Chains A and B, each alone.
Chain A
Amino acid sequence: MDIRIENLSKKFGGQRAVDGVSFEVKTGEILGFLGPNGAGKTTTMRMITNFINPSGGDISIGGRTLSENADEIKNHIGYLPENNPLYMDMPVMDYLEFVGGLQRIPKGDLMYRVVEMIRVTGLNAEKHKKIGELSKGFRQRVGLAQALIHDPEILILDEPTSGLDPNQIVEIRKLIRELGREKTVILSTHILPEVEATCDRILIINKGKIVADGTAETLRKQASGQEILKARIEDGDPNKIIEALQALPSVSMADFAERKQNRFEIQTQPGAGTAKAVFKLCVDNKWSLTELIPFETKLEDIFRELTTK
């Protein structure tokens, strides 16, 4: 099922939390929804899940308008809300059974689905414990299990890895990637490496508006900025090396990164072949080039540039 959002907006009082947002997510695509806190990520997700109604615009899922077919469509959505709310005094199994019942899973299949979810999310050892007794990582798995119990075609995850330790993050990401092969996934986060690790496409939202939409690669290309090379050049006088580097035509600036270790930072226009030039320079001067690392523009920089305006 694909999701198509057109000119979506939401006003709270006089404030526009979401302001004319349009995008599309295709089946089998994992969309990363990025933005600073308060940018409108959660509000957008709440509108897609029909928790709140939009003030304007259209959401259509699987070719049908959400507002007219809400109950039908909601059965195809699995949702993990922000902060993963759960009933702390319920045991894991009972909770999943409760959720499955609400999703109208037939009685005969219900226990099978509950057991299946416990297996998929690795909750077997904890299944009889009360949710309140579980660690944050396990609670997150319960949150995922409740979102997946009815095998939804669309998954909406609001900050699915917040508060997890690095091992758990890797596991959850892996799970999301597997799920994303056949499902439509929207996940929000403000952890940038996460989007790169899990998402096919990135959408950056700021102050209720979309400011960027594309793969990590296209975003990098779009971002104006320079390529940075880090080089370590030994067996020469550092000052002379700096001068020589600055004299290269494509280099806009060269500076010491760590002077004692002869490490240099070279700013250059992208695609100007500076790496070759640096190598040639070293050969000509009989310096030893021991390290040469091209630094891509980081996603962090793009994010900062787009969201601090």
Chain B
Amino acid sequence: MNTIWILTKREFRSFFDSLIAYILLVLFLGISGFFTWLFGSDVFLVGQASLGAFFSIAYWTLFFFIPALTMRLLAEEIRSGTIELLLTRAITDRQIIMGKFLSTLMLILVALVFTIPYVITIASIGNLDIGAVLCGYLGLLLMSGTYISIGIWASSITRNQIVAYLISLFAGLFFHLIFDMLSSSFTGLFGQVFNFLSMRTHFDSISRGVLDSGDLIYFLSIIVLGIFLSEISLAKRNFTS
């Protein structure tokens, strides 16, 4: 546990040292703030004391930002060889991956904490359903975890960061959009399967304030799968020089 925490701290700091964190925070808060308060179907247009506008814009901004955070995580370590420094100490592959996962999730958490003023503002102008807001944030965190896990896997299979970005965006696109589209064009079993695979289904249900075990299983199983596949691809060093 201690090892994972040391790795997480380093990775978290390197987000700030390399300015990535600041860029992410500014863009995320800028874009989500703009669409929540000023433009499109914003809070004032909807006229309800709800954070629905924010959650639906965050749903998209995080989808694009997370691959940019995860693309370097393992690709960079493999390319520069620093992974060798870690793995020749008493550290397991899984601990390294967990460190990367947690540090990125922490950064997303920081970004979300900065949106708490939104909650306070809306709560002061109307009757806000706090339960739904908490669920909405939980939904964003779970979704972020899912894309971080996919992103880390993408980063583990290549040394090239751009390739890692594109792979994770492409893989994410299936969950984010394509399964949703497929589910509406299929009926019966296929329709149900695609519907279950679609991120939208689960995110919407959580952000409406419904905590269902099926949704949790969905997010957690993709996270676990991503971490597991990353471990496998790190172990490939044993088979190729």
Which residues of A are in contact with B by a Cβ distance under 8 Å?
Answer: 12-13, 15, 17, 43, 46, 49-53, 70-72, 74-75, 77, 79, 81-83, 85-90, 94, 98-99, 101-104, 146
Contact = CB atoms under 8 A, between A and B. Distances in A.
A87 B14 contact: yes
Contacts of A75: 89-90
Interface string B71-96: 00000000011101111111100000
Contact of B88 (A17, A72, A77, A87): A77
Interface of B: 2-3, 6-7, 10, 13-14, 17-18, 80-82, 84-91, 237-241
Could you say which of B86, B90, B240 has the most chain A C-beta atoms within 10 Å of its C-beta? B90
B238 A52 contact: yes
Could you say which of B6, B80, B85, B237 has the most chain A C-beta atoms within 10 Å of its C-beta? B85
B90 A87 contact: no
B240 A51 contact: no
A98 B85 CA distance: 12
B238 A71 contact: no
A43 B84 CA distance: 12
B241 A43 contact: yes
Contacts of B86: 102
B90 A71 contact: yes
Contacts of B14: 87, 89-90
Contact of B17 (A50, A51, A89, A98): A89
Contact of A74 (B6, B89, B239): B89
A187 B3 CA distance: 29
B88 A53 contact: no
Q: Is the interface of B mostly helix, strand, loop or mixed?
A: helix
A79 B88 contact: yes
Contacts of A70: 90
B241 A81 contact: no
A12 B241 contact: yes
B81 A51 contact: no
B33 to A, nearest CB: 29
B88 A51 contact: yes
B238 A81 contact: no
Given A89-B18, A98-B6, A52 B85 contact: no
A79 B241 contact: no
Nearest to A84: B81
A285 to B, nearest CB: 62
5 closest residue pairs by CB, A with B: A85-B81, A71-B90, A49-B88, A85-B82, A12-B241
B240 A103 contact: no
26 contacts: A12-B239, A12-B240, A13-B239, A50-B88, A52-B237, A52-B238, A53-B238, A81-B81, A82-B81, A85-B81, A85-B82, A85-B84, A85-B85, A86-B80, A87-B82, A89-B14, A89-B17, A89-B18, A98-B10, A99-B85, A102-B6, A102-B89, A102-B91, A103-B89, A104-B2, A146-B85
A98 B18 CA distance: 17
Contacts of B81: 81-83, 85
B116 to A, nearest CB: 30
Contacts of A87: 10, 14, 82
A59 to B, nearest CB: 13
